[in-house]
Copies of this chain bind each other. A is one copy, B any other.
Amino acid sequence: MIIIMESEATPFEVDNVVAAVQNKGWQTHISSGSGETIIGVKGKGQPLDPFHLEQMSGVRETMAITQKFKLVSRAFCPENTTFDIGGVTVGGQQVVVIAGPCSVESREQLLETAHAVKDAGAHFLRGGAFKPRTSPYSFQGMGEAGLKLLAEAREATGLPIVTEVMSPDKVALVSIYADVLQIGTRNMQNYDLLNAVGRAHKPVLLKRGMSATIEDLLMAAEYILAHGNQRVMLCERGIRTFDNKYTRNTFDVNAIALLKELTHLPIIADPSHAVGVRRHVPPIAMAGVAVGADGLAIETHPNPDKATSDGDQSLTLPQFSELMIRLRAMATAVGRTM
């Protein structure tokens, strides 16, 4: 259940309602924004009487939330959540672009990419310092040295940094350098990690698992919000289906349309992983904006054929620059900016 207070409700009235609910053995979660306070009720307590609650001073209405996801749901927060990251607003009118290499490989590679994507109009720089790789014998990332290069690239370009964190004990370290903590596909249901970024003070980019349902994804985000971090972006990056001969995954545009309805959180599309083939990334990126994504994450590399990971799906810097021009036209066609 959630309890929606009148917009002019006083803190005293809010406290009163909270106390009444907690007295019945429930936990509460308070959300304030756009001028009204919403009290979320969770845990297990004695039955609450909606009629009784609605008689209390300052209460406008109560609402049963039957969906398993609560804090992430549109019912809980009807308006789009927007937040600012290093001067860029996510979740608003502007479609944001996160660009950069799969892995941070060297100072030269990263800075060249950072300047190029900045010039082309990207809003964030991405790059992996800790890499989850299918094989233990593959390059596992530069680690903290990579994080330092990312911070240097931010200094040089002003672009906020998006980078992955793979385990709870690295959240503090990555938070020193990153502006956005990325949770990778394989860790979408690594609950200890979700709890750790839920307690962190950085926005989170949560990537959908390869075979995670929409509900699985929303419940994973619910972990983060329930631990106190409201600044979460969800990322559709392709799902596993029977048809994988020509592409790496199947880009699930339906999911983007659905998520825009079910949740108030910003939705990012990752066409690079979703299709996995460089020459098909541009049309898939276009489809992502067309269907309503709030942003795109696009892998770019100065020399994709020499990339240590994901070279097949990385755009060259000129290709990225050219795509940005087409994406701006697309954003305009759907009534947004880029």
A interface vs B, CB < 8 Å? 42-43, 68, 70, 132-137, 166-169, 186-187, 189-193, 209-211, 213-216, 219, 222-223, 226-227, 238-247, 249-258, 260-262, 274-275, 279-280, 283-284, 286-292, 326, 329-330, 332-334
Q: Return 22 A-B CB contacts under 8 Å, by A number.
A: A43-B137, A68-B134, A134-B215, A136-B222, A136-B226, A136-B227, A166-B192, A167-B192, A186-B189, A186-B191, A211-B242, A239-B242, A239-B243, A241-B241, A242-B244, A247-B254, A250-B252, A254-B275, A289-B290, A290-B290, A290-B330, A330-B333
Say how far A194's CB is from chain B's closest CB, in angstroms: 8
Given that A226-B137, A243-B213, A274-B254 are known contacts, is A283 also in contact with B292, CB under 8 Å in the complex?
A: yes
Q: Is there contact, CB below 8 Å, between B246 and A275?
A: no
Does A136 contact B258, Cβ atoms closer than 8 Å? no
Which chain B residues lie closer than 8 Å to A238 at the CB level?
Answer: 254
Residues of the B chain whose Cβ atoms lie less than 8 Å from the Cβ of A70:
137
For A186, the closest partner residue in chain B by CB is B189
Give bound CA distance, A258 to B274, whole Å.
13
A247 partner, pick from B258, B288, B289, beta carbons under 8 A: B258
| Copies of this chain per assembly | 4
- Provided the pairs A168-B169, A213-B242 are in contact, do residues A191 and B283 lie with their beta carbons within 8 angstroms? no
What distance in Å separates the Cβ of A29 from its nearest Cβ neighbour in chain B? Answer: 10
CB neighbours (8 Å) of A288 from chain B are 287
Interface centre among A210, A214, A250, A257 (most CB of B within 10 A): A257
Inside 8 A of A244's CB, which chain B residues have their CB? 242
Knowing A134-B216, A190-B187, A246-B214, the reply to whether A280 touches B258 (Cβ < 8 A) is: yes
A263 to nearest B CB, angstroms?
A: 12
Taking a contact as CB atoms closer than 8 A, the residue among B193, B280, B291, B333 that contacts A284 in the complex is B291
The residues of B that contact A42 with a CB separation of less than 8 Å are 137
- Enumerate chain B residues within 8 angstroms of A43, measured Cβ to Cβ: 137
Given contacts A190-B186, A190-B187, contact A284 B257 (CB under 8 A): yes
Chain B hits for A330, CB < 8 A: 290, 333-334
Instruction: Find out whether the CB atom of B257 lies under 8 angstroms from the CB atom of A283.
Output: yes
Q: Given A254-B274, A290-B286, check contact A190 B190 (CB 8 Å).
A: yes
Q: What is the CB-to-nearest-CB distance from A219 to chain B, in angstroms, rounded to a whole number?
A: 5
Cα–Cα, bound, A215→B243 (Å)? 9
Shortest 10 CB-CB distances between A and B: which pairs? A211-B211, A290-B290, A333-B333, A186-B189, A167-B192, A287-B287, A240-B242, A287-B291, A286-B290, A136-B226
A249 contacts which chain B residues (CB < 8 A)?
254
Interface pair B283/A255, CB less than 8 Å apart: no
Would you give the shortest CB distance from A269 to chain B, in whole angstroms? 10
Complex formed: what's the CA distance from A135 to B223 in Å?
A: 7
Chain B residues within an 8 Å CB radius of A329: 333
Instruction: Give which listed residue, B192, B243, B245, B283, contacts A290 with CB less than 8 A.
Output: B283
- A186-B189, A214-B245, A215-B245 known, 17 other contacts, Cβ within 8 Å: A42-B137, A136-B191, A166-B192, A168-B169, A211-B240, A211-B242, A213-B245, A239-B250, A240-B242, A241-B250, A243-B255, A246-B262, A261-B279, A283-B290, A286-B334, A330-B333, A330-B334
